[in-house]
Amino acid sequence: MQSTHEFIAAHKDRFLAELLDLLRIPSVSADPAYAGDVRKAAEWVAANLRAAGADHVRLEETPGYPIVYGEKMVDPAAPTVLVYGHYDVQPADPLELWDNPPFEPVIKNEVIYARGACDDKGQVFMHLKAFEAMLASENLPCNVKFMIEGEEEVGSDNLGNFVAANKDLLKADVILISDTAIIANDIPSIDVGLRGLSYMEVEVQGPNRDLHSGVYGGAVANPITILCQMISSMHDEFNHITIPGFYDGVMEVSAADRASMAQTPFDLDAYQKDLGIDTVHGEKGYTTLERASIRPTLDVNGIWGGYTGEGAKTVLPSKAYAKISMRLVPNQSSAEITRLFTEHFKAIAPKGVKVKVMAHHGGEGYLMPTDSIAFKAASDAMATTFGKEPVPTRGGGSIPIVALFEKELGVKSILMGFGLDSDAIHSPNEHYGLFNFYKGIETIPHFFQNFAALSK
Amino acid sequence: MQSTHEFIAAHKDRFLAELLDLLRIPSVSADPAYAGDVRKAAEWVAANLRAAGADHVRLEETPGYPIVYGEKMVDPAAPTVLVYGHYDVQPADPLELWDNPPFEPVIKNEVIYARGACDDKGQVFMHLKAFEAMLASENLPCNVKFMIEGEEEVGSDNLGNFVAANKDLLKADVILISDTAIIANDIPSIDVGLRGLSYMEVEVQGPNRDLHSGVYGGAVANPITILCQMISSMHDEFNHITIPGFYDGVMEVSAADRASMAQTPFDLDAYQKDLGIDTVHGEKGYTTLERASIRPTLDVNGIWGGYTGEGAKTVLPSKAYAKISMRLVPNQSSAEITRLFTEHFKAIAPKGVKVKVMAHHGGEGYLMPTDSIAFKAASDAMATTFGKEPVPTRGGGSIPIVALFEKELGVKSILMGFGLDSDAIHSPNEHYGLFNFYKGIETIPHFFQNFAALSK
């Protein structure tokens, strides 16, 4: 019988072909126009999981998109690993910036280009294939449960209720997630921290209709100008966020931890060159790595209002809109920040305009202890396949569900991701390296071996 | 033979039916998608002018849309009136806010609803019908020339060259224009001042691609936030415009003129109620009427960037854009203001972003002396048909070509408009009252009579 390693080697081309099939399904959860495709992706994942040998595979329906569940219980005495991931993807726009259609994957120079290639189809699919390989080689040392959702990119609104209502079904010793990045292909790392999120949408209304800017300009509040002034006021000269109470919950990082963070390999010139910028920009008193991980932020993700077509229209618009999100650090409450933002935005609205504030979704930050056996199992697994100890890092992104897992299930999550920050997730030309895809499939079985051994 | 008045009365229904035909042509000059319709409108106007009895009617081709020219020379000794207007219209969006399709005119409560009903198809068409009536009743006391263009809403870029190249053809004693408003149907007024315009478009670029706001948020300049900060900085706490040198050319209005302006009938409560606002908003130290006429302004006409679709996308966008226009007062040079804006916008751009500034179009402000015979001819004509002396007012809008006419042809323009500020020009549900349409047709022949008499 083939070893797990041999099985992977023998089937790697098929694994890749299957992933490309999954990437061809435009499962954009944010846009209702793709509702049918999102469901199609769920059914595809369930079928693939069933074919890999999982039991009780099913779609758990929710008020939104279904959650794919499946499991393999090999031994009541063995530890149980709950694998979490998502089959939905970010919207692909702006489409014109893609070199190839986002849902027609192509492979160039050993890299897969497609929306979802890295986030998260490519990474969650590594687990399905590692599972298939362990099973086929009769080398699955842990019980395994899969929970793969379709609403991660829109806030996992329904997963929370599902988890709370299915604590027994989801009972596990650790949750394993691959939805993060390593520092570089020769510098493995494990995310031990995540930022939380509050995502808001605001509307500012001036006059009750669009007006002629010549007849009314200068005499009536322009909602775009006012919105710009309100947004502008949310950062001070040091790029501190000015919302009262915003920093109250922030867990300050010790000088020692900041010193060790400073040891993380980071090339500022290469970073700026990659982004085409002549300087970085952020909160005074913190490094780029710190600004993007241990500090909370406020970003405008979108803004629109007035005439945006070709040519010139001399309109003084009735309304202006913005989508504004805040990244939060551990101990900041998303609900509280959402409340503070809402109160502040209404408070700073000048007379002459009406404002509306709506919360899209949010989630809490997360910290993973590095002294757990789960972390050691992941660290040793990567050390084996990369030939180098992974660096513990804190990521700037958010996987809100991770904090919820701990709250509802009392189980920690291991963020063993294999992407790269340069994979352009959420951007045009998202991609994922074949090196990373196969390295993940190779590494996961080692985690299972290590976790089973360390659990004894 | 019918008198001019009798002819108008006998043909008013046909006049209206013809106007509705013209309003059905979506001649949106700002949007290339309507290019065919804009030309169709030009041909329609030429045909109508020919049918009314004008000679040498033709389309004068330009690099853009054609200018409709036609004339009737009745007597070399008689004064010549050059009638100017435009057959192009503003874009109709946002379409969803229209109660009826913008290019399917409907009449409700004696009011015509359609894009262009007032600006300027409805008003320029009054001249064609008044001309037809004077001719049919053998009562045309002046030579008349028509110059009706199709690029007024996009800056009249080609009319300037046409005028400069055809000074003999366009030789006239006065230019008559109906493209402005009266205070109310029972308070006639004549615009004796116009604001100039500089219309700019700006682009702010941060990173060279859209980024994940979790991975890069807080560490890289967000172009939307920066654009908001730049726009915000362009007004100070008193709503003065902060562009260095912006006010240098401003012709200050004398205390006496401001005092007489203050006599203009104006109901602030009704104004705020009509716009649905709880307070007005503008430059400190000036009244609403002053802010909208004798003071220069800066308005954001449109802004866009990042994700503006449904739901939430955690993107840190590469670029953000805005359309920004400034209304200028007499003595401010549009070219100079365009230069000052461009320099200032580049000067205030922080490190970490690149900016582009593009000028759409501009024009100079204008003042009409009230002691001219042309003004008296218009004033007396309105006094006759409204039974009340018109109030001289200064409008906030811009008809850049008026200043150019004076420069190139050495001829003053009379702005004898019949619209209302509440006609929602440039807005959804633009409309024009039948009262105003017919009052214009009635008044114009009186202007011709008065001007001929006063010219003797």
| Cβ atoms B199, A87 nearer than 8 A | no
* B275:A91 CB<8 A: no
Q: Across residues B192-198, what is the average pLDDT?
A: 91
Predicted confidence (pLDDT) per residue in B408-428, tens digit = 999 999 999 999 988 999 889
Residue of chain B minimizing CA distance to A316: B301
CA dihedral B199, B205, B209, B215 (to 10 degrees): -130
Tell whether B130 and B244 lie within a shared domain.
Answer: no
Average pLDDT, chain B: 95
Of B31, B305, B427, the CB nearest to A211: B427
- Residue A250 tokens read as 């922030």
SS (H, E, C) chain B: CCCHHHHHHHHHHHHHHHHHHHHCCCCECCCHHHHHHHHHHHHHHHHHHHHHCCEEEEEECCCCCCEEEEEECCCCCCCEEEEEEECCECCCCCHHHCCCCCCCCEEECCEEECCCCCCCHHHHHHHHHHHHHHHHCCCCCCEEEEEEECCHHHCCCCHHHHHHHCCCCCCCCEEEECCCEECECCECEEEEEECEEEEEEEEEECCCCCEEHHHHCCCCCCHHHHHHHHHHCCECCCCCECCCCCCCCCCCCCHHHHHHHCCCCCCHHHHHHHHCCCCCCCCCCCCHHHHCCCCCEEEEEEEEEECCCCCCCCEECCEEEEEEEEEECCCCCHHHHHHHHHHHHHHCCCCCCEEEEEEEEEECCEECCCCCHHHHHHHHHHHHHHCCCCEEEECCCCCCHHHHHHHHHCCCEEECCCEEHHHCCCCCCCEEEHHHHHHHHHHHHHHHHHHHHHHC
Of B201, B231, B275, nearest to A220 by CB-CB distance is: B275
Residues of chain B with C-beta less than 8 angstroms from the C-beta of A311: 29-31, 154, 360
**Which A residues 102-161 touch B at CB under 8 Å?**
153-155
Work out the average pLDDT over B243-271.
91
Say whether both A359 and A370 belong to one domain: no
Question: For residue B96, is it within any domain?
Answer: yes
pLDDT of residue B94: 87
Structure tokens at A387: 């030939």
* In a shared domain, residues B224 and B128: no
Whether A153 and A167 map to the same domain: the answer is: yes
This model of the complex carries an ipTM of: 0.79
Q: How far is B44 from chain A (nearest CA, A)?
A: 25
| Cα angle: B195, vertex B200, B201; to 5 degrees | 150
Which residues in chain A come in under a pLDDT of 70? none
Using CB atoms, pick whichever of B199, B297, B353 lies closest to residue A218. B297
Q: Are residues B26 and B123 in the same domain?
A: yes
Nearest to B295 among A206, A218, A303 (CB): A218
Residue A227: name the closest of A314, A347, A349 by CA.
A349
Q: Which of A318, A347, A363 is the last residue of a domain?
A: A363
**Amino acid A260: pLDDT:** 83
Whether B16 is covered by a domain: the verdict is yes
How far apart (Å, rounded) are the C-alpha atoms in residues A184 and B374? Answer: 79
Quick count: other Cβ atoms within 10 Å of Cβ A369? 9
Q: Kindly report the nearest CA distance between residue B91 and chain A, in angstroms.
A: 7
What band does B22 get if pLDDT is binned at 50, 70 and 90? Answer: very high
Q: Does the residue A257 lie in any domain? A: no
Residue B13 and residue B125 share a domain: yes
Residue A32: partners with Cβ closer than 8 Å, 6 or more residues away = B310
Q: Which residue of A has its CA nearest to B211?
A: A427
Instruction: State whether A222 and B300 contact (CB < 8 Å).
Output: yes
Confidence check: pLDDT of B155 > 90: no
Residue B157: predicted pLDDT: 87
Phi-psi map region of A322: left, alpha, beta (phi>0 left; psi -120 to 50 alpha): beta
In a domain, residue A187? The reply is: yes
- Predicted confidence band at B224 (pLDDT cuts at 50, 70, 90)? very high
In terms of domains, do B1 and B127 share one?
A: yes
Q: Which of B119, B154, B220 to mutate to test the interface with A (most CBs of A within 10 A)?
A: B220
How confident is the model over B130-154, as pLDDT tens digits? 999 999 999 999 999 999 999 999 8
Same domain, B91 and B186: yes
pLDDT of B257 strictly over 80 = yes
Closest approach of A423 to chain B, Cα-based (Å): 10
Q: How many domains are there within chain A?
A: 2
At A287, phi and psi to the nearest 5?
-80, 170
With CB atoms and an 8 Å threshold, state whether B228 touches A231: yes
Same domain? For A52 and A131 the reply is yes
What pTM was computed for the model? Answer: 0.79
CATH assignment of the domain containing B313: 3.30.70.360
Could you tell me if residue B201 is inside a domain? yes
Query: What CATH number is given to the structural domain containing A420?
Result: 3.40.630.10
| Rounded to 5°, angle at Cα A225 from A276 and A347 | 105
Residues B150 and B26 in one domain: yes
Q: What pLDDT score was predicted for residue A395? A: 79
Nearest by CB to A301, from B32, B288, B307: name it: B307
Cβ contact B211–A292 (<8 Å): no
Residue B124 and residue B148 in contact, taking contact as beta carbons nearer than 8 Å: yes
Q: Residue B268's closest CA among B280, B258, B255? A: B280
| A236 and A89 belong to one structural domain | no
Q: Convert the pLDDT of each residue in B72-118 to its tens digit.
A: 999 999 999 999 999 999 999 889 999 999 999 999 999 999 999 99
CA–CA separation, A91 and B309 (whole Å): 9
B312: closest CA among A246, A157, A180? A157
- pLDDT value, residue B311: 86
Boundary (domain end) residue, out of B341, B363, B385: B363
Q: Chain A 345-374, CB below 8 Å of chain B: which residues?
A: 350-352, 360-361
Contacts of A199 in chain B (CB under 8 A): 312, 314
How much is the pLDDT for B163?
A: 97
> Contact, B287 vs B167, CB < 8 A?
no
Q: What domain range includes position B344?
A: 196-250+296-363
In a domain, A403, yes or no: yes
Whether residues A183 and A34 fall in one domain: yes
pLDDT at residue B193, as a whole number: 87
What are the structure tokens assigned to A266, written together? Answer: 């980071």
Report if residue A342 sits inside a domain.
yes
Determine the pLDDT at residue A412. Answer: 94
A247: exposed, middle or buried (C-beta count within 10 Å: 0-12, 13-18, 19+)?
middle
The two three-digit tokens of residue A90, written as one number: 């970010």
Does A256 fall in a domain? Answer: no
Question: Measured between alpha carbons, how far apart are the two ends of chain A, in Å?
Answer: 27
Residue ending a domain, among A342, A363, A384, is A363
